[in-house]
Amino acid sequence: MSVPLFNIAPNLAVSRLCLGTMTFGEQNTLSQSFRLLDEAFDGGINFFDSAEMYPVPQRAETQGRSEEYLGRWIRERKIPRDRVVIATKVAGPSGQMTWIRGGPKCLDASNIIEAIDNSLLRMQMDYIDLYQVHWPDRYVPMFGETEYDPVRQYPSIGIDEQLEALGRAVKAGKIRYVGLSNETPYGMMKFIQVAEKDTCYPKIVTLQNSYNLLCRTFDSALAECCHQERISLLAYSPLAMGILTGKYFSPGGGPTDARLNLFKGKYSEGESRYNLSNKIIKAAAAEHLTIAKTYGLHPVSLAIAFVLRHPLVASAVFGATKSWQLQEVLNACKVELTSGVIEEINNIHSRLPNPCP
């Protein structure tokens, strides 16, 4: 099987499916992680995404394991470095993860450089293909929040300092390209504006934000920004943390090892957005499952194909803990949705817009 490629930057072509590694080291052991990576690579996926804070739910005892497993896989399988595209992220300010640079308290130059060096050390690599700011160094509504509250703003590090540090890392050969994640239209345009001031500052090439059948907020304003500035969307959570597979609608609320069951009460970022007690979320998901059944589509194929048909989406960043889940996503690459399916999807969206913002 072959997964199509998408050029997100000069000399950087990524597969339209990207295997996220945030379960590696928590839900998946080293051998299980290797098996998934093997099968993804053999299936045509060359793009792998991680973060310094992974796996999730985040814990001091496991922090960094996802990167370690990914780097170890490349070394032990003797995969040529230019055959894979490796993306990872620096954690933004957080008062909870005290085990990561004391918080981390901010994204100043020293924090960014230290994070890059630590990721390279964990992965035992010379360079990172795509380095992303995991979330902004300023207050923004995230993970299910929809309204901006000016009172919650706090002192933050300027974008100049962040880009200067990232530029130094590019010049030193530690990273090739820079991306943003969980960013707003204002934030993305400010990064672009500041980058234009100095040729030493790197250009933003990607935005990794949530995009799926239950979360289409990207299309409100970010889509225009990305289109005009030629920035590709890396759409994470294309299956809405598994809700769109339908597994949580089975008797008993789904498998006990499904993430929203396994980590109930321990994963606030996910649960705040993908709240299974929310009747609108369940109603919208159920209607999409009905569309899949009506048209003879696998629910995973419907969800993934919808994301990949977006002209600004370079790659869908998905997670899998089992081989059969990975195979379902790979199979979705062969599916094209008809105009009738899209019309029904849009009808649901017009009545139940963005229940998982």
pLDDT tens for 30-50 read 999 999 999 999 999 999 999
On the question of pLDDT at 144 being above 90, the answer is no
Residue 74 lies in a domain: yes
Q: What is the pLDDT of residue 2?
A: 83
Which CATH number is 84's domain given? Answer: 3.20.20.100
Instruction: Report which of 184, 191, 194, 177 is spatially closest to residue 223, judged by C-alpha positions.
Output: 184
Listed range (36-45, 64-73, 149-158, 247-256) with the worst mean pLDDT:
247-256
* Residues known to be catalytic: 54
CA 220 to chain centre: 19
CA–CA separation, 107 and 136 (whole Å)? 9
Confidence of residue 252 (pLDDT cuts 50, 70, 90): confident
What pLDDT, on the 0 to 100 scale, is given for residue 1? 58
Q: How high is the pLDDT of residue 149?
A: 96
Asked if residue 174 belongs to a domain, the reply is: yes
> What is the structure's pLDDT at 4?
96
In Å, how far are 226, 246, 303, 328, 338 from 299, measured between CA atoms?
A: 28, 7, 6, 9, 15
In degrees and rounded to multiples of 5, residue 179 shows phi and psi of -135, 170
The reported pTM is: 0.97
Q: Are 130 and 85 contacting, i.e. CB atoms less than 8 angstroms apart?
A: yes
**For residue 42, what pLDDT is reported?**
98
Residue 206, domain extent: 5-243+299-335
Classify residue 347: in a domain, yes or no: no
Examine residue 107 and state whether it is found in any structural domain, yes or no: yes
Residue 197 forms part of a structural domain = yes
Letter for the amino acid at 224? E
As a whole number, mean pLDDT of residues 341-355 equals 98
* CA-based nearest residue to 46, from 21, 67, 15: 15
Number of domains composing the chain: 1
Taking residues 214-227, report their average pLDDT.
97
Residue 348 belongs to some domain of the structure: no
What is the per-residue pLDDT for 264?
87
Which pLDDT score is estimated for 269? 73
pLDDT exceeds cutoff 90 at 94? no
Average pLDDT, rounded, for the chain:
96
**Separation CA 271–CA 273 (nearest Å):** 5
Assigned domain for 286 exists: no
Whether 143 is covered by a domain: the verdict is yes
On the question of pLDDT at 284 being above 70, the answer is yes
Rounded Cα gap, residues 20 and 242, in angstroms: 14
What percent of the chain shows pLDDT beyond 90?
A: 89
